[in-house]
Amino acid sequence: MQFTRLTTTFAFAVVGLAGLWLLSLAPDALSQGFWATRTTLVYGSGVLALGLMSVGVILAARPLWFETALGGLDKFYRLHKWLGLAALGFAIAHFVLRKGPSWLSELGLFAVPPKPPHAKEVATGFDLFRELKHPAAEIGEWAFYLLLALVALALWKRFPYKYFFKTHRLMPAIYLVLVFHAVILIDRSYWLRPLGPVLALLLMAGTLAALIALFRKIGLSRRASGSIAKLALYDGNQVLDVEIRLETTWPGHQAGQFAFVNFDDVEDAHPFTISSAWHDDGLLLFSIKGLGDYTRTLAGNLHLGQGVVVEGPYGRFNFEGASHRQIWIGGGVGVTPFIARLRQLARVGRTDPVDLFYATNAPDPAFLAPIRQLAEQTGVAFHLVDGSQAGRLTLESLTVMVPDWKQADVWFCGPRGFGVAMRSAMLAQGLPTSRFHQELFEMR
């Protein structure tokens, strides 16, 4: 369901903008010769690039009203990535269409027809748009080069996250430059055609979102501050439990949600799943695995009493499904939303059968003990899959333990490759797409 929803939304954005552009063209717009057709395509590729980039910028501002429609903020970022790549593709097409004929002519690879003579523009006093056309074209070209470089860095997984985050902060400024570029250079008649009002609305909303990002106001109303109350490092799996005591208002959260956490240091906020249920006591627990450059150093850098800012909660990993039973699969630190759910069930009770599979290569007895205790207390069947001993959890091994798995809603949180493999195997065996729920959270 979530993948269908995302692909449908993405296709609607691309096809919808392309359709509005086509409706805005004159009937013979693509049959008026080489140069006229090229000009039409230059405008078309440009408005499509900026329109899709506008939607991506709006999503980056984390508007909560889209969360339910898209299935959670983790889906925002997947869609944001797709929109960014599509926008870049149209931007490249725009650049090539603009520069390509001159390159081909200079290289002698293609006989470009001579440009038809056109009437000279008669100056009738000061015209701001006319005076700004040349600087708008120049600055737009340099913004494109920078956009290309930043997208390449975002896609390069080995580029450190902390530097990616800092370079990505340039995106709103680049977007505003491209808005200026488009508003000055686009044919004014476009604003009176079907595409015009939609594009104008997207540019205004995108500009507002970009300004919110530039002034670091994203999620401002959803921030709470507090301090570190407890720290516990599990040596066996290198998971750090960080308990935070909030000192300002927190709206509460549901099991499976996450928050952005800033530990009052030089790094920016990072997203972590909340591994505690909300008891209206001001306490939040995060179980953080030392996987990257930043998280591996947290155990040595954090201390009791240290200031923390938490933004959230976000996410729709809410354990709501149509089936009478559920299967939870947590890969590594992906078990954290299920720990939160166990803690919630310990207070509210449970009636439907649940099987929890915890797949890990480094089981730590101290980390496992409270999970086992909670599972026993709530009646959840707990299955530990030790990858260092028994190998990886597969559909075949899961079927042995839960033969009627096809009757369940499956909730998965863990490494992307593991999730893709499990989902593909289950769907191939007949599980409806709507009953496989997976976290898609990737910041890049």
Residue 322 contacts residue 409 (beta carbons within 8 Å): yes
Instruction: Say yes or no: 179 and 243 in one domain.
Output: no
| 243 and 392 co-located in one domain | no
pLDDT at 108: 66
Q: Are residues 90 and 142 in the same domain?
A: yes
Verify that 309 and 362 share a domain, yes or no. no
Residues 28 and 136 in one domain: yes
- Residues 197 and 219: beta-carbon distance below 8 Å: no
Tokens 């929109």 locate to 83
**Are residues 273 and 165 both part of a single domain?**
no
pLDDT of 123 > 70? The answer is: no
Give the range among 50-59, 256-265, 356-365, 418-427 with minimum mean pLDDT.
256-265
* Average of per-residue pLDDT across 121-137: 69
Chain-centroid distance, C-alpha 215:
20
Q: Which of 259, 284, 314 is the last residue of a domain?
A: 314
294 assigned to some structural domain: yes
> Do 340 and 380 share a domain, yes or no?
yes
Please check whether residue 313 is in contact with residue 253, taking contact to mean a CB–CB distance below 8 angstroms: yes
Do the Cβ atoms of 206 and 54 come closer than 8 Å? yes
Rounded to a whole number of angstroms, the CA Rg of the chain reads 26
Residue after which a domain boundary falls, among 286, 314, 342: 314
Side chain identity, residue 70: L
Cβ atoms of 244 and 308 within 8 Å: the answer is: yes
User: Among 55, 73, 45, which Cα is nearest to 9's?
Assistant: 55
Q: For 251-280, what is the mean pLDDT?
A: 88
**Mean of pLDDT values over 67-76:** 81
Tell me the residue type at 233: L
29 is a domain residue: yes
330 occurs within a structural domain: yes
CB-CB neighbours of 127 under 10 Å: 11
The boundaries of the domain holding residue 400 are 325-438
pLDDT for residue 124 = 44
Interval 93-107 mean pLDDT:
81
367, 341 contact by CB (below 8 A): no
Of 44-58, 91-105, 129-143, 314-328, where does the model show the most confidence? Answer: 44-58
User: Is 444 inside any structural domain?
Assistant: no
CA distances for 418 relative to 155, 221, 230, 334, 405, angstroms: 21, 35, 32, 11, 18
Q: pLDDT tier at 112 (50, 70, 90 boundaries)? A: low
* Average pLDDT of span 301-317: 93
Do both 91 and 201 map to the same domain? Answer: yes
**Region 4-23: what's the mean pLDDT?**
92
CA distance 61 to 180: 20
326/317 Cα distance (integer angstroms)? 13
CATH at residue 274: 2.40.30.10
Q: Within 24-160, where are the H helices?
A: 34-60, 67-70, 73-107, 128-155
Residue of 54, 43, 48, 39 lying closest to 17 (CA atoms): 48
pLDDT at 109 over 80: no
Question: Is 305 in contact with 226 (CB distance < 8 Å)?
Answer: no
Looking at residue 441, its pLDDT comes to: 66
The pair of three-digit structure tokens given for residue 244, joined into one six-digit string: 């935070």
Please count the other Cβ atoms lying within 10 Å of the Cβ belonging to residue 172: 21
Strands (E), 298-444: 307-314, 325-331, 354-360, 381-386, 408-413, 436-438
The reported pLDDT for the residue numbered 157 is 80
- Around Cβ 88, how many Cβ atoms within 10 Å? 20
Q: What is the pLDDT of residue 217?
A: 93
Q: Is residue 101 part of a domain?
A: yes
Q: Are residues 257 and 345 in the same domain?
A: no
CA 187, 193, 198, 201 dihedral sign is positive
Torsion angles phi and psi, residue 307, rounded to 5: -70, 145
- Among residues 153, 188, 214, the one where a domain terminates is 214
Evaluate whether residue 319 is within a structural domain: no
Both 243 and 181 in one domain: the answer is: no
Domain assignment of residue 15, yes or no: yes
Q: Are 285 and 261 in contact (CB under 8 A)?
A: no
268 shares a domain with 166: no
Please tell me the distance from the alpha carbon of residue 394 to that of residue 156, in angstroms, as a whole number: 30
Residue 319 contacts residue 411 (beta carbons within 8 Å): yes
* pLDDT at res. 117: 67
Going 134 to 84 to 315 to 444, the CA torsion angle's sign is negative
CATH number reported for the structural domain that contains residue 337 in this entry: 3.40.50.80
The per-residue pLDDT for 365 is 94
Give me the number of domains the chain comprises: 3
CA–CA distance, 225 with 277 (Å, rounded to integer): 18
CATH number, domain with residue 138: 1.20.120
> How many CB atoms lie under 10 A from the CB of residue 131?
12
Q: Give pLDDT tens digits for 319-355.
A: 988 888 999 999 999 999 999 999 999 988 877 899 9
Average pLDDT, the chain: 89
- Split at pLDDT 50, 70, 90, the class of 110 is low
Q: Does residue 424 fall inside a structural domain?
A: yes
| 225 and 203 belong to one structural domain | no
